[in-house]
Structures are given as C-alpha cells and as structure tokens.
Amino acid sequence: MYPKGKIIVIGHSVITENHNKEKFAFRKEENNKVFEFLPNKKEDRIEIISSFPINSDNFSEIYSAELLQRGYYNFGVIYSEKLSDYENDYYLRIFKAKTVILIGNQFETTSLFTYNSISELIHKRFIEDESFTMVGINNSAAILTDLMIGCKSIEKGLGFIKGCIISTPQDHRTGFKTLAKAVLSHQNDLGLSVCGGMSVIIEKGFQALCKGNGSAMIVNTKSIKPFKRGVSVYVKNLKGHILVDGCAVDLLAGEHITPQIFDYSLNFMNTNNIN
C-alpha cells in the first residue's frame, strides 16, 4: 500500500546575515517563497517541530514570520526539549494538524522520533491520511528516508521515504562527494541532493516533482557492478543528473518520469494524482 500523505523536501533556505553567526535570514531568492508549495487551506493547523534550544531558536522565528506573511495564522511551535513534559499535549496538537514542519539538527530530531507516541502518530497519519503533509527543511529533510548520512557512517532514518538517501548541501559541488560515497555503499538507494530555492514534492512515498528556481540532483549507482566491502573502488564517470523546476523522478527506480503524466495541483485539492 502506498502512503497517502505527502512530503515536501525544502533545500538550504537560511543563511547567516552579514556574517553574523547569531543572526539568520532567508537567502535572497527564498524571500516569501520557502512555503510557496504548502497546502492552500490556510485555516488548517500547522505544527513546527524544532530541535533547536528554545532560548536560541532564531529559525522558528524566521519560519513563523514567513508563515504569517503567506497568510497562515493557525500554527504553533513544538520544542523537542519539552517533549517529556508535554507529550500528551503535543500528541493532541499533532493529531489535529494537517501539516507538520521539521526544523533543526537531524540527529536530535531523529532521537525525538525514536521512542514515543508522537512518532507512531505521525507515521500513521502519513500512511493513512491523504490530507496530511510532512515538510522537512534543510538538515531535517535528510532524516525522512530509511537511511541518512551520519557524521561517520550511514545511519537509520525515520523511513517515510523508501529507496533514497537525501542530502541538503549549500550547493551540489560541496555535497556530491559525500552523497556519492553514501549511495555507492548502498546501491539499492538513489541519492537525492536538494539545494536552496528548490522544493521536492513527493507523493506515494517515491514519486517526486521538483518545483522552484533552484535545483536538485540525483545520483544513481544501481547499474554499477556491486563491490566487496574492504576493497578499494574506482568508479569512472559517475555523474549527478541535475533536476530543475518541473522535473519528475521515480525515487525507487531512479528514472525520470515524463512531467506530462502529472495532473498535479499545488493547492493539494486533487489528491494522489501521480499515476
């Protein structure tokens, strides 16, 4: 059974402002666009789940201001450090939400979802509820897959997206080597790099549509002959395929899908229209 919910992966959208490491702002091309592809029913509840410390969470302020600017007023912020104290309250809030947005450190966010009722609820909503949307921004997008790139090795992710490893680098050049190494060691998985200015909208857990003025990139090593662990590997002419606005990809097969097959509404009024 395909999941009925939708996922939106948003690339690197926030940078330090004027080289001040404590002050952040949207990239110039991201102003008033980062939430451009959220569901259009602005009265529906949105919850932002942040793994940033409450006292230094400038990101929640930035994203909250962006939601307000786009006309979304029914939203709140859930802080992971308060989860143990307010789990029942947070559970009810997420139960009522139509959209859940993840921001923060990918490893702390992963730990948040490991052993609690909220994790089970979100997975259930994603599988069964066609009106439910999960949004991963920057590093938090990387945890939505079965496997994610860790500090020293490939680690277990949350498993919303199958057969894919996601990277959200500042640009493809800085992230290609790391992503290529990850998919070469896990050749059943496709590599997906999403940079600033690009949103990747995923339905059925694997059918993806790129929207935005940035770019994404796929790295497919499925056709490369498997190699033995512990043995030196040389791969010739491994390339990343750049995706731009309107490109569509099957994340399981690693193949481009003709965009014309999409009868897609960014307002999410028509559900699961990718055939």
Tell me the percentage of the chain whose pLDDT exceeds 90. Answer: 33
Instruction: Go through 237-261 and write b for each residue having 16 or more CB atoms within 10 A of its CB, e for each that does not.
Output: eeebeebebebbbbbbebeebeeee
Fold adopted by 6-261: Rossmann fold (3.40.50)
Which candidate, 212, 203, 213, places its Cα nearest to that of 250?
A: 203
Are 80 and 118 in contact by the 8 Å Cβ rule? The answer is no
Are 107 and 150 in contact by the 8 Å Cβ rule? The answer is yes
Q: Examine the pLDDT at 135 and tell me if it is beyond 50.
A: yes
The alpha carbons of the chain give a radius of gyration, in whole angstroms, of 18
**Spatial separation of the C-alpha atoms in residues 70 and 94, rounded to whole Å:** 21
What's the distance, Cα to Cα, between the start and end of the chain in Å?
14
Residue 256 forms beta bridges with which residues? 249
If you search the block for the tokens 């919910």, which residue do you land on? 5
The pLDDT tens digits for 14-67 are: 544 444 444 444 444 444 467 888 888 889 999 999 888 877 667 788 888 889
Residue, of 201 and 255, whose pLDDT is higher: 201
Which candidate, 141, 140, 198, 190, places its Cα nearest to that of 165?
A: 190
Residues 6+ apart with CB under 8 A from 89: none
If you search the block for the tokens 């006292």, which residue do you land on? 55
Confidence label for 115 from pLDDT (cuts 50, 70 and 90)? low
What is the model's pTM?
0.85
The pLDDT tens digits for 181-236 are: 888 888 889 999 998 888 999 999 989 999 988 889 999 888 777 776 676 666 77
